[in-house]
């Protein structure tokens, strides 16, 4: 399947990596090139930094981000000097990062760029809205390691997930965790009317009962094991933040009746429990849902590792395809010359 066919009808696309050196930048460059050939410009920004010649984590050479004339980028002011393009500054956003203010630039020539965008989802949403004032092109959001949550929900509703041999020495672990991640991003949507005063100060507790589609405030702390250990008409509970194995272990060890019960999260990135525990809870009837979900369009795989532990590309592709109905693309064979 051609990657252009996957993204041609989408307005905003996020690129999410399971790890560094998963091949995400290679995929991003391929999408930009495909759109350019179709005479469509792009608007590109990044969650964190990308485009540098050497990977700042592994100190290995990595693909640089290449854009074309009339494409747009949003990047930090300190990185503009590293962008190998003729530039037109079209907007100063007023959003500041450690690398300076986020500036929106139109490319007047082709060339390599370095991108560092906002690291907060509300700021990313603002940048995307600013983009729309300058062009009707597709908005591409390059995700950074451990920043998956910013690429979901309100910022973008579709993504391409990249995984590869750099994730683990164990191919089975890489495949299992990649499929698990793709499932977490695509959990069923659950509508909740969050109150206008919702913030950490006003809603500091970990769990809230959902009643008639809204959060029910309570002075008491909720214990999942206790509340579901007996017959209970409380079906839906909102998890305010992340859910860890330590938090869920008492529930796993209890005789709590979980059939038809539901935990609701902001998005799938908040579920931090191991795959095995996730499956055990699902088998007991617990449902996981999210307020913001993201549709994974495809999984791309890179059998080469920055650390030398390469996979057999044919076996990697075959095993990944057997575990998912999503399109799986081997970038080593398809996009690298």
Task: Encode pLDDT of 62-114 as tens digits.
Answer: 679 999 999 999 999 999 999 999 999 999 999 999 999 999 999 999 999 99
Q: What is residue 293's predicted lDDT score, i.e. its pLDDT?
A: 87
Residues 6 or more apart from 119 whose CB is under 8 A from it? 47, 48, 97, 144, 147, 150
The gap from C-alpha 87 to its chain's centroid, in whole angstroms, comes to 29
DSSP 8-state class, residue 148:
G
Specify whether domain 3-186+294-334 bears CATH 3.40.50: yes
Q: What is residue 97's predicted lDDT score, i.e. its pLDDT?
A: 92
Q: Which residues of the chain have pLDDT under 70?
A: 48-62, 144-154, 200-201, 219, 335-337
The string of pLDDT tens digits covering residues 230-242 is: 777 889 999 998 9
pTM for the predicted model, two decimal places: 0.89
Q: Label residue 318 exposed, middle or buried (CB < 10 Å: 0-12, 13-18, 19+).
A: exposed
Token duo for residue 44: 């590109």
d(CA 329, CA 321): 9
Boundaries of every domain in the chain: 3-186+294-334, 207-290
Q: What is residue 157's predicted lDDT score, i.e. its pLDDT?
A: 80
Please give the sequence-ordered ranges of beta strands (E in DSSP) within 187-319, or none if there are none. 207-211, 214-216, 236-239, 262-265, 287-290, 295-302
Residues 6 or more apart from 50 whose CB is under 8 A from it? 25, 65, 114, 115, 116, 142, 144
């Amino acid at each position: 399947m051609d990657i252009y066919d996957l993204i041609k009808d989408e307005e905003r696309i996020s690129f999410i990596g399971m790890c560094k050196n998963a091949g995400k930048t290679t995929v991003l460059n391929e999408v930009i090139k495909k759109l350019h050939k179709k005479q469509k410009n792009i608007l590109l920004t990044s969650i964190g930094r990308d485009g540098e010649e050497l990977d700042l984590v592994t100190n290995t050479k990595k693909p640089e981000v290449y854009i074309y004339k009339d494409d747009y980028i949003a990047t930090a002011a300190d990185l503009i000097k590293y962008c190998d393009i003729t530039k037109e500054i079209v907007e100063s956003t007023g959003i500041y990062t450690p690398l300076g203010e986020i500036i929106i630039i139109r490319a007047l020539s082709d060339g390599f760029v370095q991108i560092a965008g906002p690291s907060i989802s509300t700021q990313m949403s603002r940048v995307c809205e600013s983009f729309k004032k300058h062009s009707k092109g597709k908005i591409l959001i390059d995700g950074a390691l451990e920043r998956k949550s910013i690429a979901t929900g309100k910022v973008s509703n579709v993504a391409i997930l990249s995984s590869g041999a750099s994730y683990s020495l164990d191919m089975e672990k890489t495949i299992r965790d990649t499929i698990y991640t793709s499932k977490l991003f695509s959990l069923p949507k659950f509508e909740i009317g969050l109150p206008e005063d919702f913030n950490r100060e006003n809603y500091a507790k970990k769990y809230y009962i959902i009643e008639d589609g809204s959060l029910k405030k309570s002075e008491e702390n909720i214990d999942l094991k206790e509340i579901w250990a007996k017959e209970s008409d409380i079906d839906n509970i909102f998890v305010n933040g992340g859910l860890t194995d330590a938090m869920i272990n008492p529930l796993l060890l209890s005789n709590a009746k979980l059939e038809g019960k539901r935990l609701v999260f902001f998005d799938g990135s908040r579920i931090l429990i191991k795959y095995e525990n996730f499956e055990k809870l699902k088998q007991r009837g617990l449902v996981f849902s999210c307020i913001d979900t993201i549709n994974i369009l495809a999984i791309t795989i890179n059998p080469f590792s920055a650390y030398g532990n390469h996979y057999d590309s044919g076996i990697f592709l075959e095993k990944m395809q057997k575990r998912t109905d999503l399109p799986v693309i081997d970038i080593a064979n398809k996009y690298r010359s």
